[in-house]
C-alpha cells in the first residue's frame, strides 16, 4: 500500500473583498483557543479557512484567550478582520483565569482547556465547530456544521485509545480534540459543564488530565466519529498510517481503510497532531508544503522565523 497525497488539488479560492457581501450568507460559528505563543500558526489556519470558503459563507470566528493576551496578538487579529471583513467576523473572548489552578503537561497551553467551556461561553449558540491552531481547512465547512449529530454532544476524528482507559473509559470511541463539532444545546441540556467541573475537581492533581482526556471520559456515552476527511492526521509516512490503523481497528468504532485513504487524498481539514510543519523537518513534506503555502500568504510569514520554514 502506498499513501497518495495529491497536493495539486489544493488551490486558493479567488478572494475578492470588494465583491463579497454579507447578505444571504450561510453563517457558521467557528472557535479557536490560542495564546501569544501560538497566535501565528493560528492565523495560518484562519487564512486557510477564509481562502477556501464558499462565496456564500460567512464565518463568525471566536478566539478564546486568557488575560495575558497581549496587544500585539490583538492587533494581528484586528488586521485579519479588516482584511477579510466581508467573509468573517473575528470576536475575541477573554476567558479570564479559567483553569489557572489546573496542573497540566508542559507541552500544553492553558488555552487548550477553553474548549471545555464552549457551552457556557456561547449560551445563544446551539452548534459550533472547534479548531486547533495546528489545522488547515481546505474546503467550505457548510457540510460539517450541518452534519447530523443524532444524539451525540461532540463528534471528532477517531484517535488512539492509549492512556484514556486508565481513568475509566468505558466506551470504545476515543476522539481527538483538535477538530470538534459541538452540539452546545445538548451540552447545556445534560449539564455537562457541571460534570466537567466535578471531574476536574476529582482529578485536578493528575498531569494526565489534558483536555482530550476530560472530554473522552466525561462525555463517553455521547461521543461520535466524524467522517475522516474532517480532521485527518498529517501522517508522516506509511508506517505512521499503519500504526494508527492497527491501533484504532481494535476499537468498536473505527474507520475502514478505504475511507481513510480517500480522506488523505481529499481532506477538508488536516490536523497536524504530534509533529508540526512549523518546527520539525521530520513531518511528511507533502502536507508541510501545503501548510507553508498558506503561511506565505498569511501576513505573518516573517513572524515565523523561530520555526523551520518550508
13 phi-psi bin (left φ>0, alpha ψ -120 to 50, beta other): beta
Partner residues linked to 156 by β-bridges: 180, 225
> Please, which residues have CB within 8 angstroms of residue 145's CB and are 6 or more apart in sequence?
28, 29, 127, 129, 181
Q: What cell does 184 get?
A: 452546545
Q: What cell does 120 get?
A: 457556557
> Please, which residues have CB within 8 angstroms of residue 106's CB and are 6 or more apart in sequence?
none
> Please, which residues have CB within 8 angstroms of residue 55's CB and are 6 or more apart in sequence?
20
User: How far is it, in rounded angstroms, from Cα 247 to Cα 243?
Assistant: 6
Q: What pLDDT score does 251 carry?
A: 67
Q: What pLDDT score does 102 carry?
A: 78
What is the CATH code of the structural domain delimited by 24-227?
3.90.550.10
Mapping DSSP onto H, E and C, the string for the chain reads CCCCCCHHHCCCCCCCHHHCCCCCCEEEEEEEECCCCCHHHHHHHHHHHHHCCCCCEEEEEEEEECCCCCHHHHHHHHHHHHHCCCCEEEEEEECCCCCCCCCCCCCCCHHHHHHHHHHHHCCCCCEEEEECCCEEECCCCHHHHCCCCCCCCEEEEECCCHHHHHHCCCCCCCEEEEEEEEEHHHHHHCCHHHHHHHHHHHHCCCCCCCHHHHHHHHCHHHEEECCCCEEEECCCCHHHHHHHHHHHCCCCCCCCHHHHHHHHHCCCEEECCCCCCCCCCCCCHHHHHHHHHHHHCCCCHHHCCCCCCC
Tell if the pTM clears 0.75, that is, is over it: yes
Count Cα neighbours of 164 within 13 Å in the Cβ-side half-sphere: 25
User: How far is it, in rounded angstroms, from Cα 97 to Cα 242?
Assistant: 41
Q: What pLDDT score does 18 carry?
A: 36
Q: For the chain of 310 residues, list the mean pLDDT of each consecutive stretch of 10.
A: 47 40 82 95 97 95 95 95 92 91 73 95 96 97 97 94 62 86 97 93 75 90 95 91 86 83 95 80 70 92 66
Q: What pLDDT score does 208 carry?
A: 61
Structural domain boundaries in the chain: 24-227
Q: What pLDDT score does 306 carry?
A: 61
Amino acid at each position: 500500500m502506498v499513501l497518495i497525497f495529491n497536493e495539486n488539488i489544493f488551490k486558493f479560492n479567488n478572494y475578492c473583498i470588494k465583491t463579497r457581501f454579507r447578505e444571504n450568507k450561510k453563517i457558521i460559528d467557528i472557535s479557536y483557543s490560542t495564546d501569544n505563543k501560538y497566535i501565528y500558526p493560528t492565523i495560518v489556519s484562519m487564512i486557510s479557512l477564509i481562502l477556501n470558503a464558499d462565496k456564500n459563507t460567512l464565518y463568525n470566528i471566536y478566539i478564546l484567550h486568557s488575560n495575558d493576551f497581549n496587544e500585539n496578538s490583538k492587533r494581528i487579529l484586528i488586521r485579519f478582520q479588516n482584511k477579510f471583513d466581508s467573509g468573517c467576523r473575528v470576536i475575541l473572548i477573554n476567558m479570564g483565569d479559567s483553569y489557572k489552578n489546573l496542573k497540566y503537561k508542559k507541552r500544553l497551553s492553558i488555552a487548550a482547556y477553553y474548549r471545555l467551556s464552549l457551552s457556557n461561553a456561547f449560551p445563544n449558540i446551539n452548534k459550533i465547530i472547534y479548531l486547533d491552531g495546528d489545522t488547515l481547512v481546505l474546503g467550505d465547512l457548510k457540510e460539517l456544521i450541518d452534519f447530523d449529530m443524532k444524539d451525540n454532544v461532540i463528534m471528532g476524528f477517531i484517535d488512539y485509545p492509549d492512556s484514556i482507559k486508565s481513568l475509566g473509559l468505558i466506551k470504545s470511541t476515543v476522539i481527538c480534540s483538535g477538530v470538534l463539532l459541538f452540539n452546545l444545546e445538548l451540552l447545556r441540556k445534560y449539564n455537562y459543564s457541571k460534570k466537567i467541573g466535578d471531574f476536574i475537581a476529582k482529578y485536578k492533581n493528575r498531569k494526565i488530565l489534558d483536555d482530550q482526556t476530560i472530554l473522552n471520559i466525561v462525555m463517553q456515552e455521547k461521543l461520535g466519529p466524524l467522517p475522516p476527511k474532517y480532521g485527518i492526521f498529517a501522517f508522516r509516512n506509511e508506517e505512521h498510517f499503519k500504526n494508527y490503523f492497527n491501533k484504532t481497528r481494535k476499537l468498536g468504532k473505527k474507520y475502514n481503510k478505504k475511507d481513510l485513504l480517500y480522506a488523505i487524498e481529499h481532506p477538508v481539514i488536516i490536523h497536524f497532531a504530534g509533529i508540526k510543519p512549523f518546527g520539525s523537518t521530520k513531518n511528511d513534506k507533502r502536507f508541510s508544503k501545503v501548510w507553508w503555502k498558506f503561511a506565505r500568504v498569511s501576513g505573518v510569514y516573517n513572524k515565523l522565523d523561530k520555526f523551520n520554514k518550508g
